[in-house]
Amino acid sequence: MARWAPDAAGRLQTAALELYAERGFEQTTVADIAARAGVTARTYFRHFIDKREVLFSGQSELQAFLAEWIETQVGPDDPMTRVIAGLEAAAAHFPDKTELSVKRSAIIASNAELRERELQKLASLAAVIAEALGRSGIDPAAARIVGEVGMMVFKLGYERWIGGDHTSFAATIRSTFDDLRTAMRGEGQAAARQSAGFA
């Protein structure tokens, strides 16, 4: 028999999610989490850099998938189209929406520090998209913008998906992007100004 129970990281994640849900993030100490997972606080910090990070694994898989997808596409489509298609593909591979994922979102929403970490992860997603586009030969400034837009669509789409109805994540991404395009298009005054020679 092994000296330690396997998958300490997994047990820590489960313990943390449970405790954060039960008592709230601030009322939970890292020592509590470690105890429930059957390890010491020191071991916790070997697996996760800080108290927040337990809730944000998975992010790196998404980033890797997207970067790979963006760089291996060969079509003549423009960067924005390519990134949104990549997000839809990634969304199709997402695990189903479970009670736990909803709970996780609620925990994050309830605490400022956790919301900050989530934003940092999203910023990192934007950077990954921009870098992948850059490696595909897209101009860096344009890549930066498209990375930000892609990230925003993912953020709003995820939010809608978790909070909402029963549509698939991929479909939610698509409709979010459509709504964004509509908002950007502008009507009346805006259209007039634009056709008057804006860019």
State yes or no: residue 121 binds DNA (CB under 7 A): no
CA distances from 104 to 11, 53, 56, 166 (A): 16, 12, 10, 18
Question: What is the identity of the amino acid at 7?
Answer: D
Point out which span in 13-21, 30-38, 83-91, 162-170 binds DNA (CB under 7 A).
30-38
Largest CA distance in the chain: 76
Which residues have C-beta within 8 Å of that of residue 95, sequence separation ≥ 6?
A: 101
| Of residues 114 and 132, the one with the C-beta less far from DNA | 114
Stretch 42-101 residues interacting with DNA (CB under 7 A): 42-43, 45-47, 49-51
CA distances from 135 to 49, 70, 155 (A): 30, 9, 24
State yes or no: residue 22 binds DNA (CB under 7 A): no
How many residues bind DNA (CB under 7 A)? The answer is 20
**197: partner contacted, choices its own copies, DNA, none (Cβ within 5-8 A by kind):** none
**116: partner contacted, choices its own copies, DNA, none (Cβ within 5-8 A by kind):** its own copies
